[in-house]
Structure formats: structure tokens, C-alpha cells
Structure 1
Amino acid sequence: MIIYSVTINIDETVETEWVQWMKKTHIPDVMNTGKFISCRFSKLVSHKEEGSANYSAQYTCHSRHDLEDYQQNFAQELQQKSLEKFADKMHAFRTELEIIEDFYSVLS
């Protein structure tokens, strides 16, 4: 399995609007491509910059092929919509991770 991680720095002046847009529009649009099986949307709490906040959207897919298909056929259009809406108020970088092992903790 592959994790496609997008880390975003968002200006605090649009943070609330952006979070709602991510939850109601962007993440559903990415998931509706059919290339991912889950998404975890998180706020980074250990790294803070004055005037902005950092978030992470981690999309999980079954294979490298699914991720490459997403990147070739969907990513550019969806990223462009983000830039049109939030322009210079956000900066993003993307990383790809291969899951080696899942460990689960069961509390009794």
C-alpha cells in the first residue's frame, strides 16, 4: 500500500474557510476519483509559524499504479482548483510513502 501525503501551509486569514473547503469539496473530489481507499486529514500541532497553520492530508491507495493513474489523470485539475481558490494563501508539498508494516495497539 502507498500513502500519498500532502502537507499544506495555509494563511490564518483563510484557515477556517479552507478547512471547510477541504472537508466538503477537495477531499471528497480526490476520493471520488476512485484511486484511494482512505484519507486522514490532520492539523500539525508540533510545528507552528506565526500567521499560518499546517495541515496534512494522507491518502492511502492499494498500489503505485493507482497513485500514478491519479497523478496523470486527476491531480493537475484538482490542484489547479486549489490554487484558483486560495492562490498565494497556501503552499503545499507532496510525498509518497510505501507502507512496510501496519502495527495496531489494542488497549484492554
Structure 2
Amino acid sequence: MYIYNVTTNIDESVQEEWLKWMKETHIPDVLATGKFLNAKMCKVLIEEEMSGVTYSVQFTTTDRQTLEKYYTEDAHRLREDALSKFPNKFVSFRTELEVVSEH
């Protein structure tokens, strides 16, 4: 199993709108690609030096090949949606995690 983690710091002025869009549009659109089994959205509780509110969205997929397929077939389009909807209002970084064990 792999987890595609997207951590985003969103400007407080658009946080509620962004959160609604993430829950109702973006996360369902990512899941609709068929490349992820599920998604979990978490609010980061540690205060950042920068302003804004930080969230982490974790998308679970079965293997590395499926994640690569997401990058080549879907990621650009879905990232552009966010950039056009919330220009200059957020910063995101992405990490890939390999699940080593579950208990």
C-alpha cells in the first residue's frame, strides 16, 4: 500500500470555501480517477510560523505503478483546478509514503 499525502496551508480568508470545495469537489474528483481506494483529510494542529491553516489529505493506493499512472494521467488537471479556483491563496507540498505495517 502507498499513501499519496498532500499537505496544504490555506489562507484563512478562503479557508471555509476551500474546505467545502475539497470535501464536495476535489477529493471526490481525485477518487473518481479510480486510482485510490480512499482518502482521509486531517487538520494539522501544530501552529505554523506562516499564517493560514494547514490540512493533510492522504489518498491510499495499492501500488507504486497506480500512483505513477495518476501522475501522468490526472495530477496536472486536478492541480490546475485548485490553482485556478484559489490563486495565490495556498501552498501545497506532496509526499509519498509506503505502508510498512498496520496493526
Same fold (TM over 0.5): yes
Q: Equivalents in 1 of 2:66, 2:28: separation in Å?
A: 17
Over the aligned positions, Cα root-mean-square deviation in angstroms equals 1.0
Structure showing greater Rg: 1
Which secondary structure state, in structure 1, belongs to the residue aligned with residue 13 of structure 2? coil
Which sits farther off after the overlay, 49-58 or 75-84? Answer: 49-58
Q: Equivalents in 2 of 1:37, 1:9: separation in Å?
A: 24
- Provide the aligned length of Structure 1 versus Structure 2: 103
Deviation of 1:38 (Å): 0.8
Q: Equivalents in 1 of 2:72, 2:55: separation in Å?
A: 24
Deviation of 1:46 (Å): 1.6
Deviations 1:72-101 (A, max 9, x none): 000000000000000100110000000000
Identity of aligned residues (%): 46
Deviations 1:54-87 (A, max 9, x none): 0000000000011000000000000000000001
Runs of 4+ in 1 over 2 A off after TM superposition: 47-51
Deviation of 1:51 (Å): 3.5
Aligned residue number for residue 106 of structure 1: none
Q: Which runs of no fewer than 5 residues in structure 1 stay unpaired?
A: 104-108
Aligned residue number for residue 37 of structure 2: 37
Map 1:87-102 onto structure 2 (within 5 A).
Answer: 87-102=87-102
Aligned residue number for residue 25 of structure 1: 25
Aligned residue number for residue 70 of structure 1: 70
TM-score, structure 2 as length reference: 0.96
